[in-house]
Amino acid sequence: MSEKKQFRAIKGTRDILPPDSALWNWFERKARDTFEAYGFRDVRTPIFEDTDLFARSVGTDTDIVSKEMFSFPDHSLWKLEGQRTQLLLRRPSLQDPLTVHVFRAYVDEFIVGADIALKEGDIPKTPDNERALEIIRTYSDRLVAHFMPTATPLDDPTLQLITQSIQQAAAALILGDIISLRPESTASVCRAYIEHGMHTLPGNVKLYYAGPMFRRERPQKGRYRQFYQMGAEVLGPSDAPGIDAEVIEMLMVLFRRVGLEKITLYLNSIGCKECRPKYVELLRAQLRNVKDQLGADSQRRIETNPLRVLDSKLPQDQPTIETLPRISDHLCEDCRTHFARLKEEFALRNITYEENWRLVRGLDYYTRTTFEVTAAGLGSQNAVCGGGRYDGLVELLGGPPTKGIGFAIGTDRAILSIQESGKSPHLPGLAVFVAWMGPKAYQAAVAIARKLRDCGLIVELPAEEMKFKKSLGLADKLGAKYALINGEDEVASGTYTLKRLANANQQKLAEPELLEYLESERRGA
């Protein structure tokens, strides 16, 4: 007997099933309504992009780019890739002449495959690729020449040179771009902003998005490899603190609307390209003095990204971190003023927050304002939203000088927190189960089910005839509020029997009264 494979969702991914999916839809609707009320409009960018886009914006030294991206070459030349792997694995030696002949055969095969792919445009026709193929051909010819009857026999140094040259050139041949599943969307939104010349649009461009993101993290509660974000970005000429404040106000309004109560907003300013480098150097110098007191990760980060040391959760690091210089004491005049005005804006809007000088965020593109929101019920992964200003990112990606600010909510975590609070909203369920018996009743049932659905009610109509007892049992199990009974009596009298399942109260109604009654019920629900 052949063993059947049990397919399961890939590690770190999951299915979102009913009834949870209804809560997700409700949350996303609330977010869309809130964002749209603030003038944001939906943007849908692709799920994968050029890997370099994320490397340049999020930063090559960040955890996200250095170890968490799902990246793959954008080509389907698997055969050629396989031939290249074989070629790179060969170690031809004159001690064993057969290995030299095998190597030659692999080189020939690779040249033929690469030539065809290049001609057919399956691999990029760049000068680098053409040069790489030329090198492979030249050295392959040199190898073959040694096997001519009159040629000087091959010696070891020559074989080494030929092998190395061919292998290096083969490795350098670019078969296609490396692309990555998006680990976040800010970079994609900036790319789209530049690509579509959106800087020419009037005022600030306000965009929001919703969708899956991918990071190869260690899965745990609230942390997945495919997770969902709802985010918003403001791009344009102005960096007025009122923009930062309005974006954060919108976020807090949404959290209030969805009943996320036990939340804390943390705020910081991490300076700009004028003042931050000086602070980072000061921090690095100070960290070098206390290096021995820190854990291995922090020690490594002193050189690669000292700001990230402030992110450390390691208990051993905490007393040392408390003694380090704080960015707030080292902001330039402009950044200090920006931060002070932001706080005035918060006062104007009654936004409460906690200042946290250690909030540096794990992505490289931030300047000035950074913020995070934590929520209850999430354990260690309690950040439900992160965001900040990223003036200069558009320019870094080849666009015009542009200011930017935004955030992304971790939808999985927001939903989890709502569920843990026990205050999930009561969402409309099955309103009417149409129980029918007999062909005439079925005809009427089909018609009335459509009318009720047109009124916005959720209606279930069994496709096969059932005894009323069975129908009512199923209606009950499905959680229907009403059963609409339609049998021979009802057909004869042109009425319907409407039974409220919770208390078994029932009434006979003609179609107009029935529609009116259920319609008013729906409005009241």
Task: Count CA within 13 A, CB hemisphere, residue 261.
Answer: 7
Q: Which residue has the tokens 């690469």?
A: 114
* DSSP secondary structure letter of residue 5: P
Q: Does 384 bind ligand HAM (CB under 6 A)?
A: yes
Q: Cβ(224)–Cβ(412) under 8 Å?
A: yes
Q: Does 191 bind ligand HAM (CB under 6 A)?
A: no
Q: Which of residues 77-96 bind ligand HAM (CB under 6 A)?
A: none
Q: CA 91: distance to chain centroid?
A: 43
Task: Give the DSSP letter string of 79-146.
Answer: HHHHHHHHHHH---BTTBHHHHHHHHHHHHHHHHHHHHHHHTTSS---HHHHHHHHHHHHHHHHHHHT
Total residues contacting ligand HAM by CB under 6 A comes to 24
Q: Which of 113, 241, 271, 386 binds ligand HAM (CB under 6 A)?
A: 386
Point out the residue whose Cβ comes nearest to ligand HAM: 410
List all residues 6 or more positions away from 179 whose beta carbon is below 8 Å from its beta carbon. 48, 49, 50, 51, 71, 72, 73, 74
Closest approach, Cβ 360 to ligand HAM, in A, equals: 11
Q: Which C-beta is closer to ligand HAM: that of 48 or that of 468? A: 48
13 token code pair: 């991914």
Q: Give me the sheet containing 48-50, strands edge to edge.
A: 48-50, 178-181, 71-73
Per-residue x/- mask for ligand HAM, residues 407 to 446, rule CB under 6 A?
xx-x-xx---------------------------------
Q: Which C-beta is closer to ligand HAM: that of 113 or that of 387? A: 387
The interface region with ligand HAM, picked from 139-147, 167-175, 214-222, 312-320 by CB under 6 A, is 214-222
The interface region with ligand HAM, picked from 255-263, 386-394, 419-427, 434-442 by CB under 6 A, is 386-394
Q: Which of 34, 57, 163, 229 binds ligand HAM (CB under 6 A)?
A: 229
3-class secondary structure, 208: strand
Q: Cβ(296)–Cβ(245) under 8 Å?
A: no
Q: Does 236 bind ligand HAM (CB under 6 A)?
A: no
Q: Which of 92, 113, 231, 306 binds ligand HAM (CB under 6 A)?
A: 231
The interface region with ligand HAM, picked from 46-54, 93-101, 161-169, 387-395 by CB under 6 A, is 387-395
Closest approach, Cβ 257 to ligand HAM, in A, equals: 18
Closest approach, Cβ 370 to ligand HAM, in A, equals: 9
Q: Can you list the pairs that 419-424 forms with residues at least 24 positions away whose Cβ atoms lie under 8 Å? A: 419/20, 419/23, 419/377, 420/376, 420/377, 420/378, 421/259, 421/260, 421/261, 421/262, 421/376, 421/377, 423/259, 423/261, 424/23
Q: Which of 107, 388, 431, 457 binds ligand HAM (CB under 6 A)?
A: 388
Interface positions with ligand HAM (CB under 6 A): 184, 186, 215, 217, 222-224, 227, 229, 231, 233, 383-388, 390, 406-408, 410, 412-413
